[in-house]
């Protein structure tokens, strides 16, 4: 996968994009990330990229020209890649695991990170996806881009050491993930459930599925409205509710 980020603060990406899972993916040539300062495309000697909004109002807006010219530069540099252009914006589609899985199928992602009060509306004409992390406002799109990149890159083939990890993550199945335990089997009077020590893989998988459902009911019952449950899961759900 190829990722380009258009930002006014490229140094924000120097550490996070070279560490942990993302850094290893780059080392393995499974991923390439380039960060471009679109201030370099401002077209004026003061390198201004913002201006006052027509019609008045508070704050400044990102101008269309630097973004368009930076994007044209990417088009010339990578003319043969099919690009998904992502605008980080509070008015965008709420980001979730399903969206991360969709983006992980893309060949080339381009992120536009804004600042100030907003964007010149014409920037949206080159955008394919508008994404929001939630109902709050950040000072810029950089942190949002990092979150989306991290959630997406870990889903790429061979990026995670265990290929089952991404498949069984919370939200990948529509439910929260089941509890996990490791050594020692007993710690401060808290014991690992017996079934996990039994070696019976069928019972272990059943326990995990049941506990995943239980945790979802307790912590995120809203998710159950969007999951197609099996008859067994429905029976467990009724059992949980009765207890």
Active site residues: 90, 117, 154, 169
Which class for 219: exposed (0-12), middle (13-18), buried (19 or more C-beta within 10 A)?
exposed
Which residues make Cβ contacts (< 8 Å) with residue 193, sequence separation at least 6?
181, 207
Beta strands in the chain (DSSP E): 2-7, 32-37, 50-51, 61-62, 83-94, 108-112, 118-119, 129-132, 186-187, 190-191
* Beta strand 83-94 pairing with 108-112: parallel
Closest CA to 169 of 190, 152, 149: 152
Q: Which of 49, 29, 31, 30 is nearest to 39 (CA)?
A: 49
Are the CB atoms for 173 and 184 separated by under 8 Å? no
């Amino acid at each position: 996968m190829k990722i380009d980020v258009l930002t006014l603060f490229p140094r924000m990406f120097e550490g996070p994009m070279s560490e942990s899972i993302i850094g290893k993916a780059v080392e393995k040539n499974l991923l390439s990330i380039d960060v471009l300062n679109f201030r370099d495309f401002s077209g004026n000697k003061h390198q201004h990229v913002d201006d006052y909004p027509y019609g008045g109002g508070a704050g400044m807006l990102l101008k269309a020209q630097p973004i368009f010219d930076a994007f044209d530069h990417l088009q010339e540099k990578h003319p043969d890649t099919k690009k998904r252009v992502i605008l980080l914006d509070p008015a965008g589609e709420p980001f979730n695991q399903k969206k991360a899985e969709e983006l992980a199928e893309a060949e080339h992602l381009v992120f536009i990170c804004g600042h100030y009060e907003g964007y010149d509306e014409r920037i949206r004409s080159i955008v394919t996806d508008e994404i929001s992390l939630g109902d709050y406002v950040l000072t810029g799109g950089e942190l949002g881009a990092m979150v989306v990149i991290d959630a997406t890159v870990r889903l790429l083939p061979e990026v995670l050491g265990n290929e089952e990890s991404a498949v069984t993550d919370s939200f990948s199945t529509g439910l929260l993930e089941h509890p996990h335990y490791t050594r020692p089997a007993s710690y401060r009077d808290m014991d690992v459930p017996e079934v996990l020590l039994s070696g019976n893989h069928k019972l272990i998988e059943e326990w995990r599925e049941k506990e995943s459902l239980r945790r979802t009911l307790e912590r995120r019952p809203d998710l159950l409205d969007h999951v197609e449950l099996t008859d067994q899961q429905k029976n467990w759900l009724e059992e949980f509710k009765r207890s």
